[in-house]
Amino acid sequence: MTVEIKQPFFVFNPKSYLYGEELLRLAQRADELAAKYPECTVLVTVPFADISAVKQATEKIVVTAQHIDGIRPGRGIGHVLPESVYHAGARAVFLNHAERPLTLAGLAQAMKRAKELGMKTIVCADSIDEARAVAILGADIILCEPTELIGTGQTSGSDYIEETNQAIKEINPDILVMQAAGISSGEDVYRTIKLGADGTGCTSGITNAASPADMLTEMVEAVVQAYKERGK
């Protein structure tokens, strides 16, 4: 079954900070927020070993794999088989993150396999030129995130956000644009959505917060509020 990702959306990407019961509790909180605010799609990226448990414990979030390899069932020990994460419950996948980069050929093949299974693709791009290339490849969501800003608490400038949004929409207006560099507070989320992003997301701003559940809540509510105000 193919999921729908609508704007606005929020991605909680715990990377390898969380696993097991702690991850499950936050995923369930994200699920509660997705139910409370159905106008906002909430995605949670999940380490491979936890995908099945998170899927079984939630109903409203889009469970998202952190990577897949562009392989088919057969040989390939140690690789991430798309069918495997799909079977476990993932319906979207991150690709080409700065911490798991792909060659252009590898990215194209992984995107092809995801599309064959009906999985949504969230593809990372470091620059405006890279964003254009990923748009031509046909990503569902493009995460525009300068590598040097990841985890710094420094967000992308308004010029970068507006230029990447425009460059992508000129190629394909149906592609959703995610801006998430340096997001660390509800204020950052609000500003990013108001500047025109379709969605945003966060990792360490949530996992390192005094109360990750409260910060997750604050950020999702900021997405909803900013998008509502933007539409007026």
CA geometry: angle at 97 spanning 140 and 95, to 5°?
A: 40
Q: Residue 87 catalytic?
A: no
- Pick the closest to residue 71 from 84, 58, 81, 61 (CA basis): 81
Q: Residue 145 catalytic?
A: yes
The span from the CA of 227 to the CA of 211, in Å, is 25
Q: Which of 145, 148, 218, 221 is catalytic?
A: 145
Q: Which of 32, 67, 97, 218 is catalytic?
A: 97
- CA–CA distances in Å: residue 33 to residues 40, 50, 126, 128, 148: 9, 20, 30, 32, 31
The span from the CA of 216 to the CA of 230, in Å, is 21
Spatial contact of 92 and 65, defined as CB atoms under 8 Å apart: yes
Spatial contact of 52 and 90, defined as CB atoms under 8 Å apart: no
Spatial contact of 182 and 154, defined as CB atoms under 8 Å apart: yes
Spatial contact of 23 and 46, defined as CB atoms under 8 Å apart: yes
Which residues are identified as catalytic? Answer: 97, 145
